[in-house]
A and B are shown apart, each in its own frame.
Chain A
Amino acid sequence: MPTAPTSSPALNSKPAPVPIAGDLSGKLGWYYARIFPASQFTRWLRYGNDDTLSRREISFTLPGDIYLRWKSFPTPSKLLDSLKSLTPIKIDIGAIYNFPPADKNSVSAPLTPMEKELVFDIDMTDYEDVMGALAGGSAVEVCDRNWPYMATAVKVIDAALREDFGFRHILWVYSGRRGIHCWVADARARRMTNEQRSAVADFLYLRFEGRENAGRRQNEVTVPLHPSLARAKRVACEKTFRQFVLNDQGMLDGDERLRRMLAVVPNAAVADGIYQRLASSAGLSGPDKWDRIEKELLRAGKSDYGVRATVDYIMFKHTYPRLDVNVSKEINHLLKAPFCVHPKTGRVCVPFRATEVDGFLPGEMAPEVGSLLAEMKEVDGEVRGSGPASDLMLEGVKVFEEFVNAVEDEARSAQRKKKLEALDQRQAAELLVS
């Protein structure tokens, strides 16, 4: 069973706004040949040498749900040829193995994953239970309207990766529909074991459903908060909660929603009391209501730890990134590559900067493959695209290139260091012998 992340079928069934299905292969042929940033893409996967690329698992999904796993390519040009001839509707990137996965049937040794970027997958689908007024409509509309969830996630995770874990090479990519992917490419991240990956994933993950008993909650959302969560609150969650969740989504509008929000208060009497007092004050805005709730919870929480912790718990429940942790936990899990074209929306999965995430509304910022092709013109004997979509594409490529350059630099200096060390050792050995 392929472990590649796929979006849920129920959502796929909605009609695509851009009907490119018919001639998708044709378009993709052009796309891979002319627009896809092939050189940056392969430079990334090489990490400084072809050997690394050749041991990387790359899998293709072809039209008609044909899934080709365990492919690998000895050189960048072989990969490009394959893209052009097979025109996959989706490319998934897996781990770097001990030998090329394509040889797995001819080599007797077991194929073992050695390295892979640390990856994260966040999808808006997982926020559906806390969406209010802005839920509903087609997938892409929902995506733009609810982008603040994703923006919050990006800010929180990006900050944690940098400040808590010290990672530097982080690439954020729009997933083409209603989610985002994150690639952490630091050498240290790539070498992490499954155990370490799952520890990091759990560290960044908050659990809100299932065994939602007070005990469990108190172990996660504590008072005082763990510094990492305190930062999440500070950099994004609190603001998103007040402005977006309470105001735009109206999550405190109406008795029903008020009751639902208070349902997680561990002390039923306290929850009831607050509900009674607030239900009458219909005129208050969401954030104002929250101010009162917070005050009351803190007052009641003076003697009740669980109630005190509920304040942050509620805020996080509506805003904290909802990671699909399983994607992050296993080194051999595949994740869709950047610059794929989403077959349903036609949008290119472009990278974006974490610092600019607020302005990255996919509907406006993700180029659509049809428009990209329409903008292709022959200028001075060279086929190039120019126009708004091409500009967006160019911007995405630029973000990607910055990432690739930094990654290559790291790889290069690591190689240099290794060489120096080897030299040192040889000299030391010679000294010893003489």
Chain B
Amino acid sequence: MQVTSLSFVIPNLVTPPYLRHSSKRCSNLAFFATMQVARAAGTPSKLPGSSSIHSSRTAASYAPLYLSSSLRHIAFDIEELEGIALDRLKVLKAAETARSNASIGQRSAAAVDAIRTSIRAAERAAGLNIPPPGNPTREDRVLKDEASHFLLRLALCKTHEHRNWLLSTEHDLFTARLEGAGAEFALQAIEKADGPTVRLASASDLERFRQELDAVARGPGRMKGDSGTNYYTVAFEQVPALIRYRRVFLDKGMAYVPERNVLDIVSSQFRSKLSHALVTASKAVGLADGDQRMRPILESIRQHYAMEEQVKGFDPAASIERINLTQLNESLPAMPLCMVNMMTRLREQHHLRYAGRLQLGVFLKGCGLNMDESLRFWRTEFGKGAINSDKFEKSYAYNIRHHYGREGKRRNLAPFPCMRIINDRPGPGEHNGCPYREFEETRLKQALRSIGTDPNAIPVIAAKAKEGNFQTACGICFASSQPGIHAVTETGMPEYIPTHPNEYFIEARKRRFAPNPDVSMLDADIDEEEMLMAAAAVESQNSDATPKKSGSDVDRDNEVVNPRTPLEKKDVNCGNNGLNASPGVCVPDTPVQATAHESPVIRKRNDDAPELQQPAKPANLQSNKDIEQENQPSTESGNMTGADRATVSTNKYSRGKDGSAEDAPASPKRQKKAVSP
């Protein structure tokens, strides 16, 4: 690599001639609009230790609006730049994942908190968190943060989709950073951003509108307005999110924002400023793209953006198993209960409400139906009822095309993962959602019988569902309704726990239709030594007193297992715990499952539960032990000794850790390219 570096010059106030005609408010936001790319000869090429920066940030909170930059005259190494940009990309991806895991429309404080927590964790993992003032690394981190932000802004400003994505993920990052900042900070930031006028509401106004303010504050889902709270007035345009949910009182165009919501004004400022800046950047990006040193960085960011884009959802294209419309019927038994349920309803009633259409529609898309096939499918099914093809075209075809990104925002909708389906609860007359959550017991049992679940397993499934372990229930159903041999973990639960209905579908189809399910290539290379070591570790662990873990933790531990790792002993016997339709040797077929699409599953887990990334072996073992004690009344788990089980789990864990998402075959490119500073 050529030893070059870049020098940015970003005057904050000077508007370059070629931008003069554009909107004035954007002029000082135009990063790189004023960029001068200079030959690096003689310029310092290292980021750390650049003492020329005078950070004026003294507030404890760091949540910059990126209106200006301290990046003038700082030179970066090209690879370093690429590295930090990709780091930020990771953080934003994590923000996106966190948001898509929280169900749509769910605005509970818990959901918001969960998003924030995962963003902050990702920030730390990527080294983008900003230490408090006084910390010697703070200035460098701030630089890194700014550089990465501006680079992404430049790289992802060209298309509508890129801009939208960056806007919403950066917005999430910003709000996560804002958390805990006070109204003071908010007001300062607003002023700095040349934002809207925010005024403290006068006592006389408060008195005049006491009843109204009280009514707004007292609704459920809102915090009890303590009578002492301050209110700020701001033009209603500035707080669309508060307006939308009637969270504020409005008088003649002014919104009365309670003190705790003042931060929302800042974040909506952030959004609108960035939105403008992205448009400005899109006009200036040609300049940067034309530069032979910038171009590769920007291209690399775009590539990484697109690459992970596929990974984030379940990627049907990566799978060999795609069906077409004619195979739909024969594939019905391979569908998970949620989809079977909707298919049955659709065929009975010749109609499905919107949420159901969406959920089933994107699932079928994931199964391989192309848009024409999908349209034909829905038209036919609806046509059997009261909806003729004319009406269908008018009222429904749009939706279906929308699933394929041909309408509306033109965003190709990814099939929904279980978490989203589980959280998307159906209303009356709707059939979306996860049956393990929605059906009451008798109905669930009936449904399970109707898809041919092993009758012995049905009570176990119902019990799991009742406990709230919907996916585990679904996994047991998989193990006791799909053919073939099913691996179980040391807890007696099936190895395979679905996290995505399309993944369930493909696993099931493999079992049903793959010519020769290759399940025998295990344990030939089990490392004796490793097993012994692990067993020893367990021994010592067992002698310690261990606190109990809750049931849900246990389940999570189970799910984090890396399915690629062939670990089970061949002679593990499933016994009669009702999990195995075909009796006999219970051998994991995990090697077969080791297709590319599983890496996102693993990744997602990691994102969800960052603590599991820590080499917390002891905790893991403890929980397994607890499961033995708690969850195994039918503990005929064959001739597996305690040590054996522990071995398995230890092994699995350590492999899982080593073979984490980074090594997954799906992203070798990423691994090579991502340059961490």
Contacts and interface: CB of A to CB of B under 8 A. Distances in A.
Interface of A: 1, 9, 163-167, 188, 192-193, 195-196, 198-200, 202-203, 210-213, 218-220, 222-230, 305
A222 B220 contact: yes
B250 interface: yes
Given A210-B353, A227-B212, A195 B219 contact: no
Contacts of A167: 253
Contacts of B430: 210-211
Contact of B246 (A196, A211, A213, A228): A228
Contact of A188 (B237, B407, B425, B428): B237
A219 B220 contact: yes
A200 B354 CA distance: 24
Nearest to B424: A211
13 contacts: A164-B236, A164-B252, A192-B237, A199-B241, A203-B246, A211-B430, A212-B427, A219-B219, A219-B221, A220-B246, A227-B216, A227-B249, A228-B250
Given A212-B428, A228-B250, A198 B221 contact: no
B240 interface: yes
Nearest to A167: B253
Contacts, number: 89
Given A163-B252, A192-B237, A203 B244 contact: yes
A226 B215 contact: yes
Interface of B: 211-212, 214-216, 218-221, 236-237, 240-241, 243-246, 249-254, 272, 353-355, 390, 394, 398, 407, 425-428, 430
Contacts of A229: 246
Contact of A199 (B218, B219, B243, B407): B243
A268 to B, nearest CB: 13
A197 to B, nearest CB: 9
Given A211-B430, A219-B219, A305-B220, A203 B237 contact: no
Contacts of A212: 427-428
A225 B212 CA distance: 9
A163 to B, nearest CB: 7
Contact of B252 (A1, A166, A305): A166
Contacts of A223: 219
A166 B236 CA distance: 10
Contacts of B237: 188, 192, 196
Nearest to B394: A9
A343 B268 CA distance: 45
Contacts of A193: 272
A165 B354 contact: no
B427 A165 contact: no
A227 to B, nearest CB: 4
Point out which of A1, A202, A211, A228 has the most chain B C-beta atoms below 10 A from its C-beta: A211
Nearest to B427: A211
Contacts of A219: 219-221, 245
Most A CB within 10 A of own CB, among B214, B218, B353, B427:
B427
Nearest to B428: A212
Nearest to B242: A199
Given A196-B240, A219-B245, A163 B219 contact: no
Nearest to A224: B215
B43 to A, nearest CB: 36
Given A164-B252, A188-B237, A213-B425, 4 more contacts: A164-B251, A165-B250, A202-B243, A211-B355
A202 B244 contact: yes
Contact of B250 (A164, A213, A224, A305): A164
A188 B427 contact: no
